[in-house]
Structure 1
Amino acid sequence: MAGGDGVQEQLKVAFIPGTGRMGSLLAGHLARAGMSIFVGSRSQDKGLQTAQKLLASCPNARIQGGSNHEAAAWANTIFWSPSGSLQERENLVQSLAAYLKNKIIIDVSNVMYFFDESKWGQTSSVLLNQKALGVPARWTTAFKATFYKLLEELPDPQNPHHTFVAGDDEEAVLTTIALVESIPGFKAVKAGGLSNSKIIELLGPLWLFELDKLNAGGNYRSGWKYAV
C-alpha cells in the first residue's frame, strides 16, 4: 500500500480519535491530499460533527465520521491519538482489538509525562499499547515530537520539519512515510524498529515546551528539523 498515487487509491485512513487538535489537523491535511478519511470519537455525534467541520473547509474531500468502533472497522490504516491515562488508552485499544488485527496503526501520541522518570527510555506508550492490544497489528510511530501548531501553520516545504518513523513492518513504515510526506512541509526520517519509540517519545512535548520558554522572543520554532 506504500508509495506514489496508489496511497490515495488504496488507503482508508481513520483517526482514533479525530476530534482532538492533532487528530483533526492531520485528518484535514490528509483529506486535502486525497485520502479517504474517517473521524472517530467516543461519541458518534462528535465524530460526525468534526467530519462536517472538516468538510466545510475542504468540500471536495472524502471525509466521514462516527464512533471509534466504526472508524476501526472501516479503516485499513489508523492514526492513534487518544487522550486519558495510560490505563484508559489500553482499555480503548483492547476494546477495538477485533477491528485492529493486522492493520497499520500509526501512533502519533506522546504521553511520557505519565511515566515516572525511572521508566524513561525503558518503555513507551506504543509498546504498551502493542502489548495490550493482544492481537497482531503493524504499529509505527510518527509526529511524536511535533507540536500541533506546526500543523496549523505548515512549515516551508523548502525547509521541512522532520518526523521520526519507527516500526518493525517495512510496508507499514513505507506507508507511514508516504502519509507523512503527503503533508506539505513535512519529511519522514526512518528511525529503525519500534523499540526505538522508547527514545523518540523522550523528544516529546514537555521538553519542546521548555525549549520554547527558554528561547522566547528569539527566532525559534519548535519541531524536529534537520539541515537540508
Structure 2
Amino acid sequence: MDCGTSMVKYILFIFNTIVSIIGILSIVFGVIILQSVGTIEVNGQTGFPPQAAMPILLITLGSLVVFISFLGCCGAIRESVCMMMSYAVCLLVLLILQLTIVVLLFTNKEKFDTAMGEVIDKAWASPEAREGGVFDAIQKSLHCCGSNGVQDYVSLNFLNSGLPSSCCEGSCANPLNIYGGCRAKFVDFMSGSSEKAKYVGLGLIVVELVGFIFACCLANNVRNYKRRNGY
C-alpha cells in the first residue's frame, strides 16, 4: 500500500481515538450534570426531573460517538472497506441528525422556550401532578415555587394550609425565603443548555465531516489497492 494511504490510515486511527476520548468525556460530563440535577421521588417512585433531558441526551450522544469511533478505528487498522463504509454511513447519518437539531435550535429558539414553558404549565394545570407530589418534586429539584410564583398558590387558596416546604429556603414564614416561579427557572435552564448544545453540535459536525472525508478516502484507496492486486 502506498505511503499516502498508510498516512490516511494512521491519521484516521488517531483521529478516531481522539474522538473516542471526546465521546467518553461527554458521557462523564453528562453523568456529572445528571448527578447535580439529582432525582425526584413521587409516590415512592424515583425518576429524573424534566431538566435531566439535556444530560441524558449528552450521554446518549457520547455513547454513539464512542461506538462509531471504535468502528472507525477497527476499520482503519484492519483496512476493511466494509467497516470503513459502515463507519462513513454512520457518521453521515449522525452528522445529518445533528445538523438538523442545531438548525432547529438556531431558528426556533422562541418556540423551544415556549415549549419548555408549557411543560411546567401542563404540570401545574394537572390536579394529579399537584396533589400527587409531581410538582412538589419539581419544586424541590429546581428550587422554585408554583408555575409563575407564589401567587399561583394564592389564586388556588393553597395558603390556608400553608405553602409547601419545597417552595422556600428555610421557613416559609419569611417572604424573602420563598423561591421564584418554576416556569422561568426551567425555561432559563433549558435555554442555557440548548445554547451550549448548539455550539457543541457545530463543533462535532465539523469533526465528523473531517472523519467522513478521511473514511471515504481510505475506503476508496483500499478498494483500489485490492482491485489492482487482484489482477
TM-score, L = length of structure 2 = 0.25
Q: Which protein has the bigger strand share?
A: 1
Greater RCO (Cα-Cα under 8 Å, separation 6 or more): 2
The structure richer in helix per residue is 2
